[in-house]
Structure 1
């Protein structure tokens, strides 16, 4: 996959960066952890300008988020409860009550959730669906998505820029510095996000799932 992405980005530059990140947001299995550092590498080599590469990636993130947001607006609690009642969802630990809890959370802390989850792998894409289901204001959704995605994109592009020729070493089979650094950063982000979720979000979600209510977010 790396060779195909490398060739595509080499030929189409900023447009390729934006298109690839758009696809990564719509289809989370496509790894931004590969695309963004590679954009940073091209910036280091002079083929791209780093700030513009970051903005191109963020534009792709925003466009992809709109697609899943639109999907979310087509769903309702009944449909989501049906999905969460399926065997795959149950194996992942989801329950019908999670739908009401999710709606309650987005009514109170939706904007913060969208912003923070933009820095969490896989979830950063899927968070757009409950945002759409909750009919979060499009301006607020856009602002939180842009800000969170900008941070994520800037970090990974900068890692690729600083790694420089490590990408060429990786291609020849040698150890890739950027891979190790990226995994460390991602692990740190995941741990921080998990700690925040357990301490701040989970107690409120459980409370709302038991029928608690909270003020509507501004």
Structure 2
């Protein structure tokens, strides 16, 4: 990671943050403090690295938004009626759509500042058909705040940036494990539940 940041500079940070949206194990909680530390030594420039990181966040989120828009509510609704589709049922999908219709803007904005959620929240935004301009703006604001916070921590801690890695690493693991456990619970619940007549 040091090598990518040092060789590619701000563009490399933006690339890593883009990949974090698509491959959550690439941790922005480590990349950003490292970039902040490099900026404090003069290797990087915060004036360019912050917008590069935020642009990477927005581009990655737009790719996932596009996936959600391509799937669409109708297609997922049809899938949710199939017994073999174990992720969620029709009622779950409808409940999620109502939640996103009512609170979608808050979910996107705040979700950009929560590990793992920051990656997956873009998909339901696309499914729900959130206006693209609003989605991009909220993503940029939430990502910009998140990026500024961790870049600032790296700058402030200087060569002690590993302190951030020491506590954000376990937090990221816990959040990821909780998300996987929640996914497993949804699958088990779906498999054990009776099939409503409307879903047969």
Fold shared per TM-score above 0.5:
yes
Gaps of 5+ in 1: 168-175, 191-218
Q: Provide closer, same or farther for how the CA distance between residues 88 and 163 of structure 1 changes in structure 2, counting only shifts above 3 A.
A: farther
2:102 to 87, 108, 111: 108
State the match for 1:178 in structure 2.
164
The answer to whether structure 1 residue 135 and structure 2 residue 121 are counterparts is: no
1:150 to 139, 144, 151: 144
Aligned length: 171
Alpha carbon RMSD of aligned pairs, Å?
A: 2.4
State the match for 1:53 in structure 2.
49
8 Å CA contact 1:159–1:181 kept in 2: the answer is no
SS in 2 for 1:29: coil
| Higher RCO (Cα < 8 Å, 6 or more apart) | 2
State the match for 2:160 in structure 1.
166
1:42 to 33, 38, 44: 38
SS in 1 for 2:25: coil
Q: Provide closer, same or farther for how the CA distance between residues 116 and 7 of structure 1 changes in structure 2, counting only shifts above 3 A.
A: same
In 2, the alpha carbon distance for the partners of 1:124 and 1:58 equals 13
Give the C-alpha shift of residue 15 in structure 1: 0.7
In 1, the alpha carbon distance for the partners of 2:98 and 2:150 equals 33
Question: When you count helix as a share of all residues, which structure comes out higher?
Answer: 2
After superposition, the C-alpha distances for 1:31-59 in whole angstroms (9 at most, x for unaligned) are: 11111111111111111122321111000
Gaps of 5+ in 2: 176-200
